[in-house]
């Protein structure tokens, strides 16, 4: 099935999503720098962009930058005076992303912050950062439960929190899974479900990145 999922993603990307040269260049530069090919797919990226627009977001937080491919999509959903903060552990990844964002003409509205995301999230709180309207969680999966807890102090009623890779080839439904990423993602879903401030859904997805899923959570109180 993977071949067909990839072919359909290609068809839909060319017809409906329409990646431009800055996005293609970001992937090419990421590959040339030896970054893993784990960015969101073009249809997923466009969804992030449209969600930012639909929310009329002015402030976006991303956890897990890689080469900035999803960052470009998210930032493009913002108005000209919008701002995006993206958190990345690896200085090498952050350097690739910074170049990609410059090429895309987005350097002025994006700040890449290097370090362990949990530390940077704590620092954002200490700095009294204004709340974020949209948050995209896509870093190390074992960190997801902690990231959600920290993000809850950086959002407002109406904010939307999206998390990538939350179905994991279907393994998420296996309580006995020995995979630490699966167990962490299960803790993430449980924390969302148990939080009365949150209302959520999860969509299973197939495509060029295989079988996985996206979590959508709104802060409703
Ligand atoms: N959002 C990107 C893909 C992110 S891949 C896109 O779709 O284009 C996950 C990224 O999270 C990697 O770059 C990895 O270095 C980073 N990461 C891993 N552990 C982290 C941590 N503890 N804090 C911040 N970033 C981390
Ligand atoms: C991996 C990380 C991702 O964010 C993703 O979308 C796919 C794979 C990974 O770490 O393998
Ligand atoms: Mg991901």
> Which is the closest atom of ligand 1 to the Cα of 93?
13
User: pTM for this one?
Assistant: 0.99
> Which is the closest atom of ligand 2 to the Cα of 140?
10
- 116 Cβ below 6 A of ligand 1: yes
- Residue 151 to residue 171: CA distance in whole angstroms: 25
Closest CA to 184 of 197, 170, 172: 172
- Residue 144 to residue 139: CA distance in whole angstroms: 8
**pLDDT digit string (tens) for 158-183?**
999 999 999 999 999 999 999 999 99
**pLDDT digit string (tens) for 104-146?**
999 999 999 999 999 999 999 999 999 999 999 999 999 999 9
> Which is the closest atom of ligand 1 to the Cα of 36?
5
Q: What residues have a C-beta under 5 A from ligand 3, the ion?
A: 138, 164-165
The answer to whether 93 and 84 are in contact (CB under 8 A) is: no
The answer to whether 149 and 121 are in contact (CB under 8 A) is: no
Angle of helix 69-76 versus helix 91-103 axis, rounded to 10 = 40
**pLDDT digit string (tens) for 3-57?**
999 999 999 999 999 999 999 999 999 999 999 999 999 999 999 999 999 999 9
């Amino acid at each position: 099935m993977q071949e067909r999922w990839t072919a359909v993603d290609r068809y839909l990307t060319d017809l409906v999503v329409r990646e431009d040269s800055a996005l293609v260049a970001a992937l090419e530069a990421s590959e040339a720098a030896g970054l893993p090919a784990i960015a969101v797919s073009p249809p997923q990226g466009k969804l992030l962009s449209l969600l930012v627009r639909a929310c009329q977001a002015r402030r976006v937080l991303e956890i897990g930058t890689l080469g900035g491919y999803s960052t470009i999509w998210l930032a493009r959903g913002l108005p000209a005076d919008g701002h995006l903060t993206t958190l990345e552990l690896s200085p090498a990844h952050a350097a690739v992303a910074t170049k990609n964002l410059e090429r895309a003409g987005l350097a002025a509205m994006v700040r890449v912050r290097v370090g362990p995301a949990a530390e940077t999230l704590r620092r954002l709180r200490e700095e009294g950062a204004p709340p974020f309207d949209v948050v995209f969680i896509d870093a190390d999966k074992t960190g997801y439960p902690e990231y959600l807890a920290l993000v809850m102090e950086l959002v407002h009623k109406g904010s939307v929190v999206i998390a990538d890779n939350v179905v994991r080839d279907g393994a998420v439904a296996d309580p006995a899974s020995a995979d630490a990423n699966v167990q962490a993602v299960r803790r993430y879903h449980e924390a969302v479900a148990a939080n009365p401030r949150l209302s959520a859904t999860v969509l299973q997805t197939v495509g060029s990145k295989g079988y996985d899923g996206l979590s959508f959570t709104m802060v409703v109180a």
